[in-house]
Amino acid sequence: MKKVQALPPLGMDNAAIDHDFRRHLGHTLGSVESEAQSREIYEALALAVRDRLMERWKATRVQQETSGNKRAYYLSLEFLMGRALGNAMLNLDIEKSVKSTLYEYGLELEDVENEEADAGLGNGGLGRLAACFLDSCATLSLPVVGYGIRYEYGMFRQEIQDGAQVEEPDHWLRNSYVWEVQRPHDTRHIKFGGRSEFYVDAQGASRVRWVDTENVLAVPHDTAIPGYENDTVNTLRLWKAAASDAFELGEFNAGRYPESVANKNEAEHISMVLYPNDSSENGKELRLRQQYFLASASLQDVLAQWVKANGTNFEKFAEKNCFQLNDTHPSVAVAELMRLLMDDYELSWNNAWEITSSTMAYTNHTLLPEALERWPVSLFRKLLPRVVDIIFEINARFLQQVSNKWPGDTERQRRMSIIEEGPEPQVRMAYLAIAGSFSVNGVAALHTELLIDGLFRDFCELWPDKFNNKTNGVTPRRWLAACNPELRELLDSTIGDQWITKLDQLDNLSAHVNDEKLREDWRQVKFSNKRKLAQLVKQDCGVEFDIESMFDVQVKRIHEYKRQLLNLLHVVHLYNRIKKGHSENWTPRSVLIGGKAAPGYYMAKQIIKLINNVASVVNNDPEVGNKLRLAFLPNYRVTAMEVICAGTDLSEQVSTAGKEASGTGNMKFMMNGAITIGTLDGANIEIREEVGDENFFLFGLTAAEVESMRPHYDPQSIIEADDGFSEVMALLESGHFNQFEPGIFDAVIASIRNPNDPWMTAADFRTYVDAQEQAALAYQDVERWTTMSILNTAKSGKFSSDRTIAEYNNDIWQLNT
């Protein structure tokens, strides 16, 4: 289209927003105003807000395309975005206008917001980190694009039936999703199957093409990622799989209509569902298809944009582009970029490798060796024959480097090989990612140290400069400003409002910590947030939390290493004390536990059931009364955390030291003034460093102590030597919590007595109970608790994802700001 006058910018005032809200209600949705349904009201409002994003989005795109500046791409199988409306309003600074518009119609903003489903396209920490990172990139005006998969079904919805987890599909797109824009003209073709064919090109060079493939289309759906009050709007591009027309046409013409439709289905399966396990699932073909689908579509997209702007000269490509791999999940991108550059753009191996290995960067998120991703070579070869050829060539050249550095050390070559030999050879995805990347990072200081000394030791000896730490962070927009508006106001009136983008400024609170007015307001805000959390608990669990009691919360995926069991042992211990009458000088406590178990993780599901059984005994015992309450919150998700973190007093971060890479929930709680009870694990260490040991309840073995105790770990004698612990075990083993379900908890309970318990739960029981006692005492001392709470918020500045992203940019991406 030629020379079109741009529309004037949309107004941001009440009248303009009101006008567009009504226009969308009447003209876009065809709703009769007096009969409008709440869903229509939500959609009309969302569209009015989206219009305001749209013009900034276009401007950002034009600016980024014309500047020729370097760009980064965040490749991730997961983006746990949560809701978009509140976030967009906050970042556009139109909350007040919207509120007053709705007020005119007798509507509450909160009710309207509740019409939006969570975009739950992630399992937990890794997916939510990706979402926080996008927010920070936009807020720092960094040209970063998120690339992911548009799953039709996100993380399952968790229901609790008879105390046990039941999974229900999450069809989050059912009511249409107003925040996405389909961009069919950027559709990419993804190949699967077939074989490599060698040929000689017109110049006489020998080349390879990948033929006889089944092709799947990747159709992009873009979502706007607004920065905070800065007019930058970045893009999250999610790929949806579709059957290719050409493929269908052949089948139609051959008169095989049902077969052609079946094929269509198979293609579309690729983006159907998020895998709901948060430690790698080995060998599922569909998962590997998803990984390749994302990697190939995204790389083709970036290359096509490059060629459009620069032609097929790739000399400056590495200077202008950087790919950040969110764990190994998209790491087949290393081989895929090689393939595209060589087969499609005719680069030599050396030139392609130079580009690949200077544009790829890999972030590791796990210390559990069993969670390192591996794929059978046979499966890889069936699905991606051409890609496997390239992986083998990468490995051959890589092993040559290893043997140059350590001549004759064949054991080391075997250890470091990207291909693990054995009866069923496997591709080690982490090693492919390390070999193909110029940067490898862990997500907290301890995690990175342990990677360097342990999991990736050999690689670190070969390439010490590749390895670096980037301690995680979370976005203060969602996790403080939006989820805790009352605290936001109190902060603004005490230290000004600059903390929203410069979180270090929260430290200015420290100077006001003894201000009586602030302290009283601080407590009132916490009470108000606890009231909201208690409402949620009442509604979703049917349990009454007394807001005067200490709100003690552990929400995260259910995993043995995260030790929800240790938390439960403490609850049973408190229950036992109450029953024995040892409850003088008691601190009333309300314990909340929430989280999803992977559907195939038997132990995790048992833990959920045990929590619910203990809860029903504790909550129904009149002798316990208000002293102790326990609730399991069903369907923990981003939107629930927004209520939970604001209303929490005590944050449970109790993983076995050396197992939790970082944790990010710990940071959200801290920002909102909760105090942590935790081990020296992941980012807990850095949280404690920031806030000071007097404002943190520490317990448990260190990572080093865990490993040195392991060979002679003897839980039986630990339990025997500790009366309180013995009584807790006796209660559990007597079947007190499963009187009508004999034996159902045998495996879980036995794990605590097992000398091979990898998580060494018994080892930390006593120090944990003691630290809990300290926390209970501190809570009784209102003045002390208030100081601790204020200082936790004040010292949380480091844990802004703005700081994390600034470090990624300085050390890895090097984008102009």
Catalytic residue among 664, 679, 786, 804: 664
CB of 365 to ligand 26Q, least distance (A): 4
Instruction: Give the residue with the Cβ less far from ligand 26Q, 188 or 287.
Output: 287
* Nearest residue to ligand 26Q, by Cβ distance, number only: 125
CB 293 within 8 A of CB 214: no
Question: Could you confirm whether 557 is annotated as catalytic?
Answer: yes
CB of 80 to ligand 26Q, least distance (A): 9
Phi/psi of residue 69, each to 5°?
Answer: -75, 160
Segment contacting ligand 26Q by CB under 6 A, of 279-287, 345-353, 377-385, 478-486:
279-287
- 804 is a site residue for ligand 26Q (CB under 6 A): no
Instruction: Give the residue with the Cβ less far from ligand 26Q, 277 or 321.
Output: 277
DSSP state of 593: E
- 115 is a site residue for ligand 26Q (CB under 6 A): no
CB of 373 to ligand 26Q, least distance (A): 5
Handedness of CA 86, 91, 93, 94 (dihedral sign): negative
- 279 is a site residue for ligand 26Q (CB under 6 A): yes
- 700 is a site residue for ligand 26Q (CB under 6 A): no
- 126 is a site residue for ligand 26Q (CB under 6 A): yes
Segment contacting ligand 26Q by CB under 6 A, of 275-283, 495-503, 600-608, 779-787:
275-283
Catalytic residue among 668, 688, 795, 798: 668
Instruction: Give the residue with the Cβ less far from ligand 26Q, 320 or 605.
Output: 605
Pick out residues in 456-495 that bind ligand 26Q (CB under 6 A): 472
Pick out residues in 635-674 that bind ligand 26Q (CB under 6 A): 660-664
Catalytic residue among 557, 570, 629, 688: 557
CB of 664 to ligand 26Q, least distance (A): 5
Q: Tell me the number of residues near ligand 26Q by CB under 6 A.
A: 24
Segment contacting ligand 26Q by CB under 6 A, of 184-192, 352-360, 365-373, 390-398:
365-373
CB of 661 to ligand 26Q, least distance (A): 4
565 contact partners, CB below 8 Å, separation of at least 6: 607, 610, 748, 751, 752, 761
Q: Of residues 278, 507, 642, 802, which one binds ligand 26Q by CB under 6 A?
A: 278
Nearest to 139 by CA among 588, 473, 461, 511: 473
752 contact partners, CB below 8 Å, separation of at least 6: 565, 569, 715, 719, 729, 761, 762
CB of 445 to ligand 26Q, least distance (A): 13
Segment contacting ligand 26Q by CB under 6 A, of 270-278, 312-320, 390-398, 704-712:
270-278
- 449 is a site residue for ligand 26Q (CB under 6 A): no
CB 576 within 8 A of CB 614: no
Pick out residues in 388-447 that bind ligand 26Q (CB under 6 A): 443
Amino acid in the structure at residue 651: S
Chain-centroid distance, C-alpha 451: 20
The 738-767 site mask, x for binding ligand 26Q (CB under 6 A), equals ------------------------------
Direct distance between the N- and C-terminal alpha carbons of the chain, in angstroms, rounded to an integer = 32
Question: Could you confirm whether 365 is annotated as catalytic?
Answer: yes
User: Pairing state of beta strands 697-698 and 675-678?
Assistant: parallel
- 682 is a site residue for ligand 26Q (CB under 6 A): yes
For the chain, the residue count is 817
Phi/psi of residue 511, each to 5°?
Answer: -65, -20
- 129 is a site residue for ligand 26Q (CB under 6 A): yes
Tell me the CA distances in angstroms from 183 to 144, 154, 303, one per residue in order: 18, 21, 17
Phi/psi of residue 526, each to 5°?
Answer: -65, -40
Instruction: Give the residue with the Cβ less far from ligand 26Q, 371 or 541.
Output: 371
Nearest to 221 by CA among 172, 185, 275: 185
The torsion defined by the Cα of 252, 255, 256 and 260, in degrees rounded to 10, comes to 10
Alpha helices in 237-373 (DSSP H): 245-253, 257-269, 285-310, 317-320, 333-339, 349-359
Alpha-carbon distance of 224 to 205, in angstroms, equals 44
Q: Of residues 150, 221, 287, 637, which one binds ligand 26Q by CB under 6 A?
A: 287
Instruction: Give the residue with the Cβ less far from ligand 26Q, 88 or 677.
Output: 677
410 contact partners, CB below 8 Å, separation of at least 6: none
Instruction: Give the residue with the Cβ less far from ligand 26Q, 280 or 786.
Output: 280
Phi/psi of residue 713, each to 5°?
Answer: -60, 130
Instruction: Give the residue with the Cβ less far from ligand 26Q, 123 or 321.
Output: 123
Nearest to 719 by CA among 710, 711, 709, 728: 728
CB 681 within 8 A of CB 584: no
Amino acid in the structure at residue 503: L
Q: Which tokens hold the place of 631?
A: 């609730």
Alpha-carbon distance of 700 to 811, in angstroms, equals 34
Segment contacting ligand 26Q by CB under 6 A, of 92-100, 122-130, 221-229, 742-750:
122-130
Q: Of residues 223, 271, 280, 653, which one binds ligand 26Q by CB under 6 A?
A: 280
Instruction: Give the residue with the Cβ less far from ligand 26Q, 124 or 163.
Output: 124
Catalytic residue among 287, 381, 556, 609: 556
CB of 567 to ligand 26Q, least distance (A): 17
- 123 is a site residue for ligand 26Q (CB under 6 A): yes
Handedness of CA 753, 758, 759, 764 (dihedral sign): positive
Nearest to 370 by CA among 124, 600, 703, 659: 659
Segment contacting ligand 26Q by CB under 6 A, of 8-16, 121-129, 574-582, 746-754:
121-129
Instruction: Give the residue with the Cβ less far from ligand 26Q, 403 or 469.
Output: 469
- 610 is a site residue for ligand 26Q (CB under 6 A): no
Pick out residues in 371-390 that bind ligand 26Q (CB under 6 A): 373
CB of 240 to ligand 26Q, least distance (A): 20
Question: Could you confirm whether 235 is annotated as catalytic?
Answer: no
CB of 391 to ligand 26Q, least distance (A): 17
Catalytic residue among 221, 339, 488, 562: 562
Segment contacting ligand 26Q by CB under 6 A, of 100-108, 280-288, 739-747, 784-792:
280-288
Alpha-carbon distance of 342 to 152, in angstroms, equals 34
Instruction: Give the residue with the Cβ less far from ligand 26Q, 135 or 507.
Output: 135
CB of 679 to ligand 26Q, least distance (A): 13
Phi/psi of residue 659, each to 5°?
Answer: -115, -35
Please name the helix (run of DSSP H) or strand (run of DSSP E) that holds residue 243, with its range, or none.
Answer: strand 233-243
CB of 804 to ligand 26Q, least distance (A): 10
Instruction: Give the residue with the Cβ less far from ligand 26Q, 326 or 613.
Output: 326
Q: Which tokens hold the place of 651?
A: 């944050």
Tell me the CA distances in angstroms from 542 to 221, 499, 534, one per residue in order: 40, 37, 10
CB of 658 to ligand 26Q, least distance (A): 12
Nearest to 679 by CA among 468, 449, 663, 671: 663
Catalytic residue among 365, 381, 447, 629: 365
Tell me the CA distances in angstroms from 768 to 612, 677, 687, 688, 705, one per residue in order: 22, 8, 18, 16, 16
Tell me the CA distances in angstroms from 464 to 88, 438, 453, 512, 808, one per residue in order: 42, 11, 11, 45, 18
Instruction: Give the residue with the Cβ less far from ligand 26Q, 141 or 280.
Output: 280
Amino acid in the structure at residue 524: Q
Pick out residues in 318-357 that bind ligand 26Q (CB under 6 A): 329
Question: Could you confirm whether 668 is annotated as catalytic?
Answer: yes
Strand-pairing partners, residue 592, are 553, 631
Tell me the CA distances in angstroms from 26 to 31, 33, 104, one per residue in order: 5, 7, 17
Catalytic annotation, residues? 365, 556-557, 562, 664, 668
Residue ranges in contact with ligand 26Q by CB under 6 A: 123-126, 129, 275, 277-281, 287, 329, 365-366, 373, 443, 472, 660-664, 682
